[in-house]
Chains A and B, each alone.
Chain A
Amino acid sequence: MPTGAEQPLLRLRGVGRDFDVSRPWLNRALEGSSPLLLRAVDEVSFDVRRGETLGIVGESGCGKSTVARLIVGLYAPSRGAVEFDGLELTDRVHTAEVRKARQRMQMIFQDPYASLNPRWRVRRIVAEPIRALGLAASRDEERSRVHELLSQVGLSPEDSEKFPHEFSGGQRQRISIARALSGNPEFLVCDEPTSALDVSVQAQILNLMTDLQQRFGLTYLFISHNLAVVSHVADRVGVMYLGRLVEIADAAELFARPRHPYTRMLLDAVPDLDMTGRSRTPVAGEVPNPLAPPPGCAFHPRCPHADARCAAERPPLASAGRALVACHAVAEGRLAL
C-alpha cells in the first residue's frame, strides 16, 4: 500500500478487537449458556499518509468507531498492532516514548453536547490539554493561546468566559476542535464530527476543518456514515462492513468505480438530490447480527453476485486495479466494472 519510501504516519496491521458480551458468570453456571465474544473489528489493516485525510465509511455496527478508539488508545486491540510514526503503540507498557507519540494525536467526537464538560468555562475546556502537556509557561501565555485558538476556529476571545450551554451545536463543535488543536497535534481522529449538526452548519465545520488542515499540515482520519460528506473531505476512502475493511481506494476512484458489491450498494442507496421522482430497487436485507456473522464473506447473504465460494471462504483484501478489494467475485473477474 505505501507509495514511495515515505513512512506512513499511522499504520494498522491486522488489528482486531473482541468484546466479551457473555451473561454474568453466575447465569452461565446456572443456565449453562456459553461465553459470547463479539468480534467488533477483525483483521483491519491500512495506512494513513502524512497530510492526507483517510475517510472510513460504513453503517452502524460496522466497527468504524471502534477503529477510532483503538487508534487513540481508548481501547486496546485484541490482535494486531497500531503503529504511529514507526512506533508500535500497542505495547502493554506505556513507555515515555508511547506517551509522547499519543500526545501527537487528538480526537473529535460526534456529540458536541456530551463531549464538553457543562460546568467548565470554555477557557478551561480549551486549556486542559495545554495544562496536561505543560505547553504554556505562564497563565498569561495560556490565556493568549486559548484566545488564539478560539479565533482560529471562528469564535471570539470573549467566548472563553462562557459555558458550553451558551453555544449552538455548531459553535460547540468549534470548541471541541479548538480543544483538540490546543495540544498541537499532527493527527486528528474525527468520529462523525458533523453528524449531529444541521446541513448549513455542517458545511461551516467541514470548511473549517479543511482550512485548518491546510494551515497546520494536519492528518485526518475521518469517520462517517455519510458518503457524501466523506467524498468531500477525503483523499482516500475505506469501506467497512461487519468489522472488516472490504474496500479501500483513492476517493475519486472509489466514487467513480466502486468495486465491492457492498460499496456499490451503499452508493446506490444514498438519497440523491438529482433523483427527483425516480424510483429504484433498494437492496434487500439488513446487516446481520455481529454475534453470529455469516461464514465466508460476511456480505454474501445480501450480495447479488455470491456463489458457493463466497459462502464458504472469507475473501482477503487484494489489489484490483487501483483499489484494494475483499471480494471473490472481483478477484475472479466475475464482476464487470
Chain B
Amino acid sequence: MSAPLLEVRDLRVEFPTRHGTLVAVDRVSFSIEPGEVLGVVGESGAGKSLTGMAIIGLLEPPGRIAGGEIRLEGARIDHLPPEQMRRIRGRRIGAIFQDPLTSLNPLYRIGDQLVETILTHLDLDRPAARRRALALLDDVGIPAPEARFDHYPHQFSGGMRQRVVIALALAADPRLVIADEPTTALDVSIQAQIISLLKRLAREHGSAVMLITHDMGVIAETADRVAVMYAGRVAEVGPVREVIHAPRHPYTAGLMESIPRITAGVGKRQRRLAQIDGSMPRLNAIPRGCAFNPRCPRRFERCLAERPEPVPVDAHHVACWLYADRR
C-alpha cells in the first residue's frame, strides 16, 4: 500500500489561558489518500476547523500544536519554519474558507491576485501566468473571464467570489485542498453549484480534498469517507454511505437522526425529530472517560472512567467502548 497523501497522527492543539490549558484537539488521527475527498463533520466547537488550521500552519496564537505529527507525502510539516510553510501553502496545499472575502484582497483586481499566486508558486512568465489565470477563471465558471479579470472582489456576488477563491486555491495544482465550510455562507441553489464545481475540479486536477463542514448533506454528496468529530476528538471514521446509513458511534447515530429530512407526501410534524439532549461540553469541562458519555443513551461504567480509542469495526474506526471486545 502506498503512503497516504496526508497523515495526521495523535494531533493535539492547545490554548494556554489564565485558567489553565484548554485542549481543543485531542489525539486526532486520520489520513487522506491521493485524490480522495475526506469529509470532516462536527458541530461548532468540535475542533474540525482547528484541525484544518493546524494542518496548513495557520493556527492563531496562542493556539499551538502541542503533540502528534502531520505528514504530507511522508514528510513532517508540523513545526516547519513559517517561510517553508508558506511555500507549502498554495503550492502543495490549497485553502478555501467560508467567507470568500477573507481570502481575497479587496484592494487588488482578482486577475492580479491570481497572477501573483501563480507567479509565486509556478515557474512561469507573466504572459503565461495570465493565460493560466484566465483558463482557471473559465474553469470555475466565471462568465466572460477576460472582462472580469480586471474587476475587484466587491464587484462579484457571493457565489462568484467563492468561485474566484476556488480558482486561487487550485492555481498551483496543489495535491491537497482544505475547504473549511466552503458553501455555508451561500444560498442553497448556489451551494449546489459550488459543490459540484469543487468535485469536478478536484477530480480533474487530481487533488485530494479535506472538506470541513457542519452540513451532513454536503458531505453526503461530496465525500468518499467521513470523519465525525466531537469535543476535539474523532468519534468515528468510515465510508460516507456507511456512516450515514449504518452509523456505529452513538453520537453519529444521534446526529443522523436529528437532521430534518424532506419526506415528500408525508403529513407534517407528527414525526418528531430524534434529539440528543444536552449540548457539547465546553473545552474547560470535557468529562472524564468518553467525552460523549453524559449525553449517551448507551453509556455504561467503563465510559465514565476510561477514554475509548478508535478500534476497527467493519469498514469504520469507532472510538466507543461498545465495540471494545471486537479488537
Interface residues of A (CB under 8 A from B): 53, 59-60, 168-171, 198-204, 206-207, 210, 225-229, 231-235, 251-252, 255-256, 265-284, 286-287
In the complex, per-residue mask of B176-191: 1 if CB is within 8 Å of any chain A CB, else 0: 0000000000011111
Question: Which of B196, B254, B258, B273 sits near A282, CB closer than 8 Å?
Answer: B196
Chain B residues whose CB sits within 8 angstroms of the CB of A201 once the complex forms: 43, 279
Question: Which of A232, A256, A287 sits near B271, CB closer than 8 Å?
Answer: A232
Contact across chains for A225 and B258 when beta carbons are under 8 A apart: no
Question: Which of A203, A231, A256, A270 sits near B258, CB closer than 8 Å?
Answer: A203
**Of all chain A residues, which has the CB nearest B241?**
A276
Beyond contacts A201-B279, A267-B262, A271-B218: 17 other A-B pairs, Cβ-Cβ < 8 A, are A199-B259, A202-B258, A203-B259, A206-B260, A207-B273, A228-B260, A232-B260, A251-B267, A255-B263, A266-B189, A269-B192, A271-B195, A272-B217, A272-B220, A273-B217, A278-B221, A279-B196
Contact across chains for B215 and A271 when beta carbons are under 8 A apart: yes
The answer to whether A270 and B262 touch (CB under 8 A), given A201-B279, A275-B220, is yes
The answer to whether A273 and B244 touch (CB under 8 A), given A200-B43, A282-B196, A283-B189, is yes
5 pairs of residues in contact across A and B, judged by CB atoms under 8 Å: A198-B43, A199-B43, A201-B279, A231-B261, A279-B199
- The minimal Cβ–Cβ distance linking A288 to chain B, given in whole angstroms, is 10
Tell me the residues in window 231-275 of chain B with beta carbons closer than 8 Å to chain A beta carbons: 240-241, 244, 254-256, 258-269, 271-275
How many residues of B are in contact with the other chain, CB < 8 A? 49
Chain B residues whose CB sits within 8 angstroms of the CB of A269 once the complex forms: 188-189, 191-192
Chain B residues whose CB sits within 8 angstroms of the CB of A282 once the complex forms: 189, 192-193, 195-196
Bound-state CA distance A173–B9 (Å) is: 38
Question: Which of B255, B260, B272 sits near A231, CB closer than 8 Å?
Answer: B260
**Of all chain B residues, which has the CB nearest A211?**
B272
- The minimal Cβ–Cβ distance linking B2 to chain A, given in whole angstroms, is 23
Chain A residues whose CB sits within 8 angstroms of the CB of B159 once the complex forms: 286
**Of all chain A residues, which has the CB nearest B279?**
A168
Contact across chains for B269 and A199 when beta carbons are under 8 A apart: no
Most buried by A among B43, B189, B215: B189
Q: Is the interface of A mostly helix, strand, loop or mixed?
A: helix
Contact across chains for B256 and A273 when beta carbons are under 8 A apart: yes
Give the number of residue pairs across the A-B interface with Cβ within 8 Å: 152
Contact across chains for A270 and B188 when beta carbons are under 8 A apart: yes
Interface status of B44 (Cβ within 8 A of chain A): yes
Interface status of B17 (Cβ within 8 A of chain A): no
Contact across chains for A235 and B268 when beta carbons are under 8 A apart: yes
Bound-state CA distance A225–B260 (Å) is: 13
In the complex, per-residue mask of B215-230: 1 if CB is within 8 Å of any chain A CB, else 0: 1111011000000000
Contact across chains for B187 and A60 when beta carbons are under 8 A apart: yes
Q: Which 5 A-B pairs have the closest CB atoms?
A: A271-B217, A203-B258, A198-B43, A59-B187, A256-B265
Question: Which of B160, B272, B276 sits near A210, CB closer than 8 Å?
Answer: B272
Contact across chains for A204 and B277 when beta carbons are under 8 A apart: yes
Contact across chains for A287 and B187 when beta carbons are under 8 A apart: yes
Contact across chains for B240 and A276 when beta carbons are under 8 A apart: yes
Chain A residues whose CB sits within 8 angstroms of the CB of B43 once the complex forms: 198-201
Chain A residues whose CB sits within 8 angstroms of the CB of B102 once the complex forms: none
Contact across chains for B262 and A228 when beta carbons are under 8 A apart: yes
Contact across chains for B273 and A232 when beta carbons are under 8 A apart: yes
**Of all chain B residues, which has the CB nearest A168?**
B279
**Of all chain A residues, which has the CB nearest B219?**
A271
The answer to whether A232 and B269 touch (CB under 8 A), given A198-B43, A201-B279, is yes
Contact across chains for A265 and B258 when beta carbons are under 8 A apart: no
Interface status of B84 (Cβ within 8 A of chain A): no
Interface status of B214 (Cβ within 8 A of chain A): yes
- The minimal Cβ–Cβ distance linking A145 to chain B, given in whole angstroms, is 26
The answer to whether A232 and B268 touch (CB under 8 A), given A206-B273, A276-B221, is yes
Chain B residues whose CB sits within 8 angstroms of the CB of A267 once the complex forms: 262
Bound-state CA distance A277–B37 (Å) is: 11
Contact across chains for A225 and B244 when beta carbons are under 8 A apart: no
Contact across chains for A200 and B258 when beta carbons are under 8 A apart: yes
Bound-state CA distance A201–B255 (Å) is: 10
- The minimal Cβ–Cβ distance linking A135 to chain B, given in whole angstroms, is 29
**Of all chain B residues, which has the CB nearest A232?**
B260
Bound-state CA distance A266–B218 (Å) is: 15
Chain A residues whose CB sits within 8 angstroms of the CB of B265 once the complex forms: 252, 255-256
Chain A residues whose CB sits within 8 angstroms of the CB of B255 once the complex forms: 199-200
Contact across chains for B267 and A200 when beta carbons are under 8 A apart: no
Question: Which of A60, A207, A228 sits near B259, CB closer than 8 Å?
Answer: A228
Contact across chains for A198 and B188 when beta carbons are under 8 A apart: no
Contact across chains for B217 and A227 when beta carbons are under 8 A apart: no
Contact across chains for B189 and A203 when beta carbons are under 8 A apart: no
Question: Which of A266, A273, A276 sits near B188, CB closer than 8 Å?
Answer: A266
Question: Which of B190, B254, B276 sits near A286, CB closer than 8 Å?
Answer: B190
In the complex, per-residue mask of B272-287: 1 if CB is within 8 Å of any chain A CB, else 0: 1111110110000000
Chain A residues whose CB sits within 8 angstroms of the CB of B160 once the complex forms: 286
Bound-state CA distance A198–B231 (Å) is: 13
Bound-state CA distance A256–B157 (Å) is: 32
Chain A residues whose CB sits within 8 angstroms of the CB of B187 once the complex forms: 59-60, 225, 287
Tell me the residues in window 153-167 of chain B with beta carbons closer than 8 Å to chain A beta carbons: 157, 159-160
The answer to whether A203 and B274 touch (CB under 8 A), given A256-B264, A271-B215, A272-B217, is yes
